[in-house]
Chains A and B, each alone.
Chain A
């Protein structure tokens, strides 16, 4: 919804929150349901309202538990039937500097200051441990905003008795906890309050009037930032940038001005600004986001601009370069198709408001930010948090590389007349076996973002995945695939739940970047092998249709399963007897965990 996209008018969102909520709830869009416990050390009603809007806009339907005013710690630590029954999917702890029990006194020595720090950390640790033990769900924890006064002035930052020093040390300790604990995320209000302006953020009027620990007008930005973490945990991030060239990646029009005439590099002020933007995009790309070009240009000119010696981005940084005179909405749709990702995974970046308007109208699920003038490009893209990283896997770092390898494979394919011969020429090797603990973050990430080749579209948090990993009642398989062009990493996950002689496949998914490689056959062969070893006689498959997974509607049929039921919503159930099963895979060498 346009009103909720960054850069937004927070005041207007707050004023119109009722009608915005109503409109979102009536839009008929499919959403996943998530239960969010908000344990707060200050008033949080407006935070809940704003968070709800941003989550609804991201395809998540939240249900909230709100702790009573300043009961966050008791709610977390002591027995709490209401919260137990609520059974949260995520716990968010909304504490701020207002909730720090005690700061060091000006007469305190170093040991006393350290003791207070430990006591404060212990208070939080107790709450985190209790939540982890009881609910086994992700925790999002605010860090602390800086104090709005400094008794010692600048000395406050390095003297252990200073509040600035104390808060900085607490924040470092929180960060260390997050680094060591999967499923624990920091909502960085230290950064946010700095962006917003600490004086405005900490306006005491809101605390003394309503017990809000941050000013009410800052809550939309706060909630947007928080929503981006939740969005990322549930795999709802964007995946690719679609970039215009002229006046977006450099100043000027390459077709008119020529490669010598465009502004990029150190010679001009504007050129420097574009250089920083290209540098920013390169960092974004290195973090696992795909870059593509969509430009109205002759391809030759587009490449000449990207080859500019003062540019930071090179043609090989892009997985796809589309430069022609077609309308942009068509090209954007073609890019989504070419990369085999949903249109909702794209962010369209163009300086021209007319191009943005046509793409926004024709491709409503793509993000089309108003990027403003060149000096605001980085801020708008960055604050929009399209690519919030909550879990980080090696695959993220390699993604661009993998998509380029795919282009090479496509070129190879055109040399063969027989498809099987082509598959053999790839010299594919798959590792298919039970999960390994180090792969669980990647397995979870893949599970939560696969939409198309996904039979049940069931989502798991990392903690839930670990529970499955520790339970003997499941057959778990991950599959990674490499070939002579490179390693695709983990591309497929299958989980079956065994009840006696019957196995129900609760999860079967595969990354679309290995479509038509017969990887699904290799997974099936291993699944049946494992099932037989565990005396399973019958395997049941389930297909739950969504807007995106029509491609696997007939998958179990193609495997030789027999369809046994179909309900009014199109949910189907399938059956395969393991006895007499003949392996399907013939082009992939299958290996085990080492």
Chain B
């Protein structure tokens, strides 16, 4: 899967999960950049991303992801 496609689909997931159509995800984006991105919505986000791409994150990955770029890298590996 092309990175561009991953970002496009990821962008939709972020907009749905945080109910905010203004969001533009980027590789450097972290939880600090989105007000509602806390530990609870992180679970929703991870589940939604897994559902969207038909993948499963491993235990260490969920808590260890530093930014969106890292998430994309994992999706790319699995997809």
* A contact set with B: CB distance below 8 Å: 11, 14-19, 22, 45-46, 205, 208-210, 216-217
Contacts and interface: CB of A to CB of B under 8 A. Distances in A.
Interface stretch (B23-31, B44-52, B71-79): B44-52
A16 B40 CA distance: 14
A19 B19 contact: yes
A46 B51 contact: no
A11 B40 contact: no
B51 A19 contact: no
Given A15-B16, A19-B19, A22-B19, A217 B47 contact: yes
A17 B44 contact: yes
A46 B43 contact: yes
Contact of A46 (B18, B19, B44, B62): B44
A260 B44 CA distance: 55
B59 interface: yes
B17 interface: yes
Contact of B48 (A14, A19, A210): A14
B12 to A, nearest CB: 9
B51 A11 contact: yes
Contact of A15 (B17, B40, B59, B62): B17
Nearest to B18: A18
Interface string B8-21: 00000100111100
13 contacts: A14-B48, A15-B13, A15-B16, A15-B44, A15-B47, A15-B48, A45-B40, A46-B43, A208-B59, A209-B63, A210-B43, A216-B43, A217-B51
A15 B46 CA distance: 10
A16 B48 CA distance: 9
B29 to A, nearest CB: 18
B19 A209 contact: no
Contacts of B44: 14-15, 17, 46
B41 to A, nearest CB: 9
A15 B50 CA distance: 11
B61 to A, nearest CB: 10
Interface of B: 13, 16-19, 40, 43-44, 47-48, 51, 56, 59, 62-63
B62 A209 contact: yes
A209 B40 CA distance: 12
A51 to B, nearest CB: 15
B48 to A, nearest CB: 4
* Closest 10 pairs between A and B when the two form their complex, measured CB to CB: A18-B19, A11-B51, A15-B48, A19-B19, A15-B16, A216-B47, A16-B16, A45-B40, A210-B43, A15-B17
Contacts of A18: 17-19
Contacts of B48: 11, 14-15
B60 to A, nearest CB: 10
| Majority DSSP secondary structure for residues of B touching A | helix
A16 B18 CA distance: 8
Contacts of A205: 56, 59
Contacts of B51: 11, 14-15, 217
B47 A11 contact: yes
Given A15-B48, A46-B44, A216-B43, A209 B18 contact: no
A176 B67 CA distance: 52
A45 B43 CA distance: 10
Contacts of B40: 45-46
Contacts of A45: 40
Contacts of B59: 205, 208-209
Contacts of B18: 18
B9 to A, nearest CB: 12
A18 B19 CA distance: 6
Nearest to A217: B47
Nearest to A205: B59
A576 B56 CA distance: 70
Contacts of A208: 59
Contacts of A216: 43, 47
B34 to A, nearest CB: 12
A69 to B, nearest CB: 12
Contacts of B13: 15
Contacts of A17: 44
A217 B19 CA distance: 19
Given A15-B16, A19-B16, A46-B43, 12 more contacts: A11-B47, A11-B51, A15-B13, A15-B48, A17-B44, A19-B19, A22-B19, A46-B44, A205-B59, A209-B59, A209-B63, A217-B51
Contacts of A46: 40, 43-44
A40 to B, nearest CB: 14
A341 B12 CA distance: 43
A16 B15 CA distance: 9
A141 B4 CA distance: 48
B59 to A, nearest CB: 6
Contacts of B17: 15-16, 18
Nearest to B42: A210
